[in-house]
């Protein structure tokens, strides 16, 4: 695994090496040449001692200067290079484009991009501006993509999931559930409402059914509208009797859908099928649809 080295550590190593070379070269020059200038003022007995003292003083001075330069360089790099990069890195790492993040907008923590102030006038400022533009463009794209996806997977009239969403979950979600119960529902005599009363009245009945279905919608219960009067409920992880009881009680509670004064009755009829363990979702759906067809024929006959 490649060892990680920060910008600061690499820059410090480079500066330190350069200063070491500077100190060594200056010390060598001072020892060879500069100390000779004192020879004419120092007696022979003190020449070697003076040369050594001068060498030590000069070397210590150069080392001290080098250390000061290292600290100054480190402080400047922290202020103008490392800190802006670190702040932007933290801000980028906290950007969230999940459902919650998209709902609340840009992150409001102290590390958010909008709270950074980088006005160095160099490449760091250009990078900062580019990242802010990138975040804005990405947010707009994801919002647009999410809206387009929602419209494709939902019925605009009832706000329920549509057949596209059902087919997607039928392949990607339901096969991995412990069990599924699929209930298919129809509104019988809806066409009579459209013919004898008005299409607006028929739309009102559909909206009423959709409103009641949305109340059932939860993490484990999914409601769909496939066609004008055809709806589906999918229960995940329920026992067969439990799911059937929920649908039966819900249909009874919804009751008659048209006016009591009408000479015909418009209501819901349903049929369900259950799959547990190793099951084929499409097969369960076909059995539920078949039961719905049979129950619809019986209900229409009894309502005549």
Q: Which domains does the chain have, with CATH numbers?
A: 7-137 (no CATH), 163-303 (3.30.70.270)
Other Cβ atoms within 10 Å of 49 Cβ, number: 10
| pLDDT for the residue 282 | 94
| First-last CA distance in the chain | 79
Cα–Cα dist 50/35, whole Å: 8
Confidence of residue 253 (pLDDT cuts 50, 70, 90): very high
Cα–Cα dist 242/20, whole Å: 81
Confidence of residue 39 (pLDDT cuts 50, 70, 90): low
Give, in order, the Cα–Cα distances in Å from 158 to each of 8, 214, 221, 222: 58, 9, 17, 14
Q: What share of the chain is helix, strand, coil (3-state, %, to 5)?
A: 65, 10, 25
| Residue 151 pLDDT > 90 | no
Residue 33 DSSP code: T
Task: Write out 56-70 in H/E/C secondary structure.
Answer: HHHHHHHHHHHHHHH
Confidence of residue 72 (pLDDT cuts 50, 70, 90): confident
Cα–Cα dist 91/110, whole Å: 8
> What's the chain's average pLDDT?
77
Confidence of residue 286 (pLDDT cuts 50, 70, 90): very high
Is the alpha carbon torsion for 255, 261, 265, 268 positive or negative? negative
Strand partners, 270: 185
Choose from 28-32, 115-119, 147-151 the range with maximum mean pLDDT.
147-151
Task: Tell me if 26 sits within 8 A of 62, measured CB to CB.
Answer: yes
| Residue 298 pLDDT > 80 | yes
Cα–Cα dist 275/177, whole Å: 10
H or E segment to which residue 267 belongs: strand 267-276
| pLDDT for the residue 141 | 61
Confidence of residue 103 (pLDDT cuts 50, 70, 90): very low
| pLDDT for the residue 76 | 72
The stretch 165-175 carries a mean pLDDT of 89
| pLDDT for the residue 97 | 54
Cα–Cα dist 38/36, whole Å: 5
**Six token digits for residue 81:** 């290079």
| pLDDT for the residue 285 | 95
Helices 123-153 and 83-93, axial angle in degrees (round to 10):
0
Cα–Cα dist 118/86, whole Å: 12
| pLDDT for the residue 67 | 79
| pLDDT for the residue 102 | 43
Higher pLDDT, 214 or 58: 214
Task: Tell me if 124 sits within 8 A of 118, measured CB to CB.
Answer: yes
Task: Give 67's Cβ-side CA count (13 Å radius).
Answer: 6
- CB neighbours of 178 closer than 8 A, spacing ≥ 6? 236, 237, 276, 277
Higher pLDDT, 127 or 240: 240
| Residue 187 pLDDT > 50 | yes
Q: Phi/psi at 178 (nearest 5 deg)?
A: -65, -35
């Amino acid at each position: 695994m490649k060892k990680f080295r920060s910008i600061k550590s690499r820059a410090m190593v480079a500066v330190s090496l350069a200063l070491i070379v500077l100190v060594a070269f200056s010390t060598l020059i001072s020892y060879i040449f500069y100390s000779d200038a004192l020879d004419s003022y120092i007696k022979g007995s003190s020449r070697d001692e003076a040369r050594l003292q001068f060498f030590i003083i000069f070397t210590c001075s150069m080392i001290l200067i080098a250390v000061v330069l290292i600290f100054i360089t480190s402080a400047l790099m922290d202020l103008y290079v490392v800190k802006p990069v670190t702040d932007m890195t933290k801000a980028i790492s906290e950007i969230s484009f999940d459902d919650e993040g998209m709902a609340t907008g840009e992150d409001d923590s102290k590390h958010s991009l909008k709270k950074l102030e980088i006005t160095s006038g160099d490449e760091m400022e250009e990078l900062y501006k580019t990242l802010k533009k990138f975040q804005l463009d990405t947010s707009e794209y994801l919002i647009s993509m999410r809206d387009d996806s929602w419209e494709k997977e939902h019925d605009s009239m009832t706000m329920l999931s549509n057949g596209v969403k059902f087919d997607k979950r039928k392949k990607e979600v339901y096969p991995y559930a412990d069990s599924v119960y699929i209930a298919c529902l129809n509104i019988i005599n809806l066409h009579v409402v459209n013919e004898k009363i008005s299409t607006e009245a028929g739309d009102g009945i559909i909206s009423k059914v959709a409103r009641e279905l949305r109340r059932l919608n939860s993490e484990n219960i999914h409601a769909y509208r496939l066609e004008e009067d055809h709806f589906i409920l999918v229960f995940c992880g329920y026992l067969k009797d439990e799911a059937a009881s929920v649908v039966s009680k819900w249909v009874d509670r919804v009751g008659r859908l048209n006016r009591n004064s009408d000479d015909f009755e418009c209501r819901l009829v349903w049929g369900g099928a259950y799959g547990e363990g190793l099951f084929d979702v499409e097969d369960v759906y076909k059995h539920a649809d078949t039961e719905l067809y049979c129950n619809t024929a019986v209900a229409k006959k009894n309502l005549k």
